[in-house]
Amino acid sequence: MTRVTFAITMSLDGFVAGPSQSEENPLGIGGMELHRWLFPLQVFREMHGEEGGEVDASTPVVEGWFENVGATIMGRNMFGGGPGPWGDDPWSGWWGEDPPFHHPVFVLTRHAREPLELQGGTTFYFVTDGIESALAQAREAAGDEDVSVAGGADVAQQYLAAGLIDEIEISVAPLILGNGARLFANLDGAGLELEPLRTVEAPGVTHLRYRVLAPTRRAEAAG
Amino acid sequence: MTRVTFAITMSLDGFVAGPSQSEENPLGIGGMELHRWLFPLQVFREMHGEEGGEVDASTPVVEGWFENVGATIMGRNMFGGGPGPWGDDPWSGWWGEDPPFHHPVFVLTRHAREPLELQGGTTFYFVTDGIESALAQAREAAGDEDVSVAGGADVAQQYLAAGLIDEIEISVAPLILGNGARLFANLDGAGLELEPLRTVEAPGVTHLRYRVLAPTRRAEAAG
């Protein structure tokens, strides 16, 4: 059975970006510090065409984010170039001509746009009719493989609130940012039970992986 | 050097109590679920005069919260019986005649009150002149031992924002509550660096312990 997964790095106080996000500073003030644990790793550098780097306990965790993934879903703000209509010279993403996905990527947006096929097997599809439509298309594209929800926080919140996420992995960075984009905002009334799957302590980060329980299983788990 | 420590259980989405806290339901809706991992443990039951219980990876963590502690600080809301003046038959805490502290406990309050000496070595002192005064008195009372900040969230926020906490331990419960008392609220601009000390994966909870870095050390750590 394919899984719908979501993995992200979060400060201890729950932020996935710092305050004052902008085009120049998309992760906000202090936001890049969240990922400080990731940048030196060989697995990260390889994805960006660079040689060398470190191997540590985070390495298999990061590799796991990309294994067996057949499709990705992301929000317009994460894809970039927005907001508003795409215009005459439409933005083609942050990842250059050969993005690291190598599979279909479904971008949630209000503004229609033809698919954008780039090199290396990545095609961006622009979905204007909501999260369930994007997920249905992603599942079909993924076949037997998993669907990854890449972000942003607002997209993850919508999928979590709708009970559509199967597993989450939160990489907790050793920071208290104080403000910014709060991952678990807009979930009042959601009340989700989680089943711990794995905890990995690594240099500069702790990875917490959970299964998100379905409502019936939540009632059973609550006993 | 004595340490000022703070340990608390928090949902993955950052809440230490659920919504709609009340006298009848001091931890709010779903709040008791936060502590589900703790209640069956022998170490917890012993503290409340009951026999039996389980031993698991959380046991040494919980024992550690009480080792080498010479004084505790808590807020009025945690002590209970409020808000407002203490009145003619003043509330004497949630813990009965022989509270489990066995050392001086300093309660932050706006309303003056004589010390309350109970059995087993616990005396509650009521401090009306602020967090630094309470901490100074607690340090003096603790001698060579540590000072524990027990809570609530608002008290912890004040001490964190003032740079007065040395170590924190967050016991992350596998829940997304959606709303309630958010532990790290009111810290806009705080920007704290943490140094991971220990991660303990245990049944139904993951304990994350950090040293809180001083501003100079934060600047150095940020490199």
Hey, is B101 helix, strand or coil?
A: coil
Of A140, A148, A99, nearest to A123 by C-alpha is A99
The alpha-carbon gap from B100 to the nearest alpha carbon of chain A, in Å, equals 29
Interface list for chain B against chain A, based on CB atoms closer than 8 Å = 12-14, 19, 30, 33, 160, 170, 172, 174-179, 183-184, 187-196, 199, 201, 204, 206, 208, 210, 222
The alpha-carbon gap from A4 to the nearest alpha carbon of chain B, in Å, equals 18
- Determine the pLDDT at residue A22: 82
Tens of pLDDT, residue by residue over B153-188, are: 999 999 999 999 999 999 999 999 999 999 999 999
- Alpha carbons A128 and A217: distance in angstroms, whole number: 32
Tens of pLDDT, residue by residue over B26-54, are: 888 889 999 999 999 999 999 888 999 99
- Determine the pLDDT at residue A223: 47
Residue A153 falls in which region: left (phi positive, over 0), alpha (psi -120 to 50) or beta: alpha
CB B151, CB B78: distance < 8 Å? yes
- Determine the pLDDT at residue B220: 52
Burial readout B36-47 (b: 16 or more C-beta within 10 A, e: otherwise): bbbeebbbbbee
Residue B36 falls in which region: left (phi positive, over 0), alpha (psi -120 to 50) or beta: alpha
Residue B220: its H or E element: helix B215-222
Interface test with chain A among B11, B36, B176, by most A beta carbons within 10 Å: B176
Interface test with chain B among A169, A175, A176, by most B beta carbons within 10 Å: A176
CB B149, CB B157: distance < 8 Å? no
Chain centroid to CA B49? 21
| Closest in B19, B172, B188 to A208, CB measured | B172
Hey, which residues does A5 pair with through a beta bridge?
A148, A167
| Residues whose CB falls within 8 Å of the CB of residue A89, separated by 6 or more in sequence, listed in order | none
Of B42, B43, B35, nearest to B62 by C-alpha is B43
- Determine the pLDDT at residue A221: 52
**Structural tokens at position B73:** 């600080």
Q: How many contacts (CB atoms, under 8 Å) link A and B?
A: 97
Tens of each residue's pLDDT in chain B, 223 residues: 789 999 999 999 999 999 888 878 888 888 999 999 999 999 999 988 899 999 999 999 999 999 999 999 999 989 988 788 999 889 999 889 999 899 999 999 999 999 999 999 999 999 999 999 999 999 999 999 999 999 899 999 999 999 999 999 999 999 999 999 999 999 998 889 999 999 999 999 999 999 999 765 455 555 4
Q: Can you list the residues of chain A whose pLDDT is less than 70?
A: 215-223
Q: Do A190 and B208 touch (CB under 8 A)?
A: no
- At which residue do the structure tokens 């644990």 appear? A37
Q: Which CA distances in Å does B114 have to A73, A164, B23, B140? A: 61, 56, 24, 19
Q: How far apart are the first and last CA of chain B?
A: 26
- Determine the pLDDT at residue B81: 83
**pTM, to two decimals:** 0.91
Tens of pLDDT, residue by residue over A129-188, are: 999 999 999 999 999 999 999 989 999 999 999 999 999 999 999 999 999 999 999 999
Of A63, A81, A64, A87, nearest to A26 by C-alpha is A81
CB B137, CB B106: distance < 8 Å? yes
Interface list for chain A against chain B, based on CB atoms closer than 8 Å = 12-14, 19, 30, 33, 160, 170, 172, 174-179, 183-184, 187-196, 199, 201, 204, 206, 208, 210, 222
Strands B116-117, B175-176: pairing is unpaired
Reduce the secondary structure of chain A to three states and give it as a string.
Answer: CCCEEEEEEEECCCEEECCCCCCCCCCCCCHHHHHCCCCCEHHHHHHCCCCCCECCCHHHHHHHHHCCEEEEEEEHHHHCCCCCCCCCCCCCCCCCCCCCCCCEEEEECCCCCCCEECHHHCEEEEECCCHHHHHHHHHHHHCCCEEEEEECHHHHHHHHHCCCCCEEEEEEECEECCCCEECCCCCCCCCEEEEEEEEEEECCEEEEEEEECCHHHHHHHHC
